[in-house]
Structure 1
Amino acid sequence: MSNRPFVLWLIWQNQETRQRYHIGTLSSLNGEYTFSYELSGKRRTLIEAMENGYRPHLAFRDVNKVYKSNRLFDAFARRLPDKRRPDFHELLESLGLPKDYTDMDLLRATGGRLATDPYEFVAPIYRYGNHFDFDFFIAGWRYYEGEKALRELKIGEEVRLERELKNPKDKKAVVILSTKSGSKLGYVPAFYSGFMFDVIEKQDQFYAKVEKINYNAKPQLKVVISVVGETTINEYEGSDFNIIERLEFV
């Protein structure tokens, strides 16, 4: 398959209901940035968001237009930390990013979150045919045994993903365990846990491993897990919104 774009989904949260909606998609490929609103018939996308109080971003007023630029759109670039701040290099380290990071890397690591609005960027699960793959930072790292197991973890090491059926807060929680020690490292983030819960329940094939370790990063950004697998799940409807970015064979 040829080079694929770096995709981030723009999420809007209704501050009253706390419901999240996938309102738009930002992508970057070969130096070109593209942004468009999500107009599909899937639930929790733009149309439903507008029915629940959302109004198009002032920088992207036309919901039917595909916006393109040779640099990150100013409306999103303003969400990135200022490179002129004296502690910027320390900030990159805390985010687990190398010096040759891209704006999309930084946008993903920070989520582009501001205290003044309800927007956030998240990375989707990529799927083409029955194949799927995605990666994520372990959720809840600081609250479990991840820190104790950190020095034992190796890049490329397999980890176990298991359903946690009696979790009182999430009926589709998926816990991450060290294959070697059995230590509880944390959880698959809620954005993705419903999908993985269903994959495990169907006994579909997948492989999860430690993709990256950022020893000096913030707790929630220390360990990246990557997952690849095959599934016959047609549509995912288990979470707040469909997190799958479908790709075509090329």
Structure 2
Amino acid sequence: MSTLFVAWQQPDSREWIPVAKLEHNGSTYAFSYTQGIFRAKDFRQFSGMQNVEAVYESPRLFPLFANRLISKSRPEFKDYLRWLGLSDMDEKPMAILALTGGIRGTDSIELFQPPEVSEQGQYHLEFFARSLSHLPQAAIDRIRLLEKGERIYLMTDPQNNFDAQAVAMRTGTPSWFLGYCPKYYAQDLGSLLSNPECDLQVTVKCVNLDAPSNMRLLCSVTAKVPCEFSPLSKERDFLPVDGIPQEWKSLTNTLDGILLG
């Protein structure tokens, strides 16, 4: 089973909130909303998938996501492979969406893959560093010098005015700030970081000097986790919808009334 989460960016706070899950079992695609929709105050259900309690199934990838695939015929496709640290990629839609995020400049949707945990309790995750566009030029120059396999260190940022759970990244000594881990993984990484027995390791997978800032620094994460550990389990946003809160129903009904006149 391949799984991707769908995040939506809230206009006022610019926060990316997980609002849905997309799964593929080899023959059928399944789409369902998650409890993140209750926190995303301005979110409206996607066209053709308005029932937040339903599981939508299709033998084909839903148009909302199929339109986000990068064709091999596009000239930038080889660059995408290189930026992602790949030498080749078969035409598996879920794999392509997981690596590229399915990002388009015309909307505020991003797809991302949950971390993997092996039967041996090995946690693995890859992501692009965030907020590089806000770094000073000196920090960008330091990123250009990073080498594949170089160690990166994580640190929590509880005084962050935008997100008290943010997890920042830095080099070793001398220390240079390298941006942030994606918010989706912050609770996982913060928990693993606080437990020395997990032996959390973050390394550089590749540095893409010619890529946009959001695909400049690709990082790889490994850790040892207890058998009962479940990725993303502490984040309510990722949980399936189990009944609709009354206040959300009231708001939805009000908005529907306005839209329908």
TM-score where L is the length of structure 2: 0.66
- Displacement, 1:194? 2.1
Q: Say yes or no: does 1:77 pair with 2:70.
A: no
Q: What is the letter of the counterpart of residue 79 of structure 1? A: R
User: Structure 1 residues 220 and 114 mapped into 2: Cα distance closer, same or farther (>3 Å)?
Assistant: closer
Q: Please list the CA deviations of residues 138-185 of structure 1 after superposition, one character each: whole Å capped at 9, or x if unmatched.
A: 112231554222343111222111222322222112111123542211
Aligned residues: 227
Structure 1 residues 20 and 205, CA gap change in structure 2 (3 angstroms): same
Who is 1:247 aligned against? none
How far apart, CA to CA, are the structure 2 residues paired with 1:50 and 1:147? Answer: 33
Structure 2 equivalent of residue 218 of structure 1: 212
Larger-gyration structure (1/2)? 2
The correspondence for 1:44, drawn from 36, 39, 48, is 36
- 1:65 to partner: Cα distance: 4.9
The reply on whether 1:178 has 2:174 as its aligned counterpart is no
Aligned pairs (5 A) from 1:44-193 = 44=36, 54-55=44-45, 57-58=47-48, 63-69=54-60, 72-80=61-69, 88-90=74-76, 93=79, 96-97=83-84, 100-101=88-89, 102=91, 103-104=93-94, 106-114=96-104, 118-128=108-118, 130-142=121-133, 143-144=135-136, 145-179=138-172, 181-193=174-186
The runs of 5 or more residues in structure 1 that have no matched partner are 244-250
Equivalents in 2 of 1:153, 1:59: separation in Å? Answer: 44
What SS class does the counterpart of residue 184 from structure 2 fall into? helix
Q: Distance in 2 between matches of 1:90 and 1:215?
A: 15
Q: Which residue of 1 aligns with 2:4?
A: 8
State, as a whole percentage, how many aligned pairs show the same letter.
19
Moved more, 55-64 or 146-155: 55-64
SS in 1 for 2:75: helix
CA distance in 2, matches of 1:138, 1:64: 32
Q: Which residue identity lines up with residue 137 of structure 1 in the other structure?
A: F
Give the Cα separation in 2 of the matches to 1:146 and 1:51: 35
Letter in 1 for 2:203: K
SS at match of 1:176: strand
- Asked if the contact 1:8–1:108 (Cα under 8 Å) also holds between the matched residues in 2, the reply is yes
Q: 1:33 offset after TM fit, Å?
A: 6.4
User: Helix, strand or coil for the counterpart of 2:159?
Assistant: coil
Deviates more, 1:167-176 or 1:111-120: 111-120
Over 3 Å counting, the alpha-carbon distance change for 1:134 and 1:27 in structure 2 is: farther
C-alpha separation in 2, matches of 1:13 and 1:151: 29
| Amino acid across the alignment from 1:220 | N
Partners in 2 of 1:12 and 1:179 — Cα distance? 34
CA distance in 1, matches of 2:238, 2:204: 25
Instruction: State the Cα distance separating 1:219 from its structure 2 match.
Output: 1.3
- SS of the equivalent of 1:227 reads strand
Post-superposition offset of 1:196? 0.8
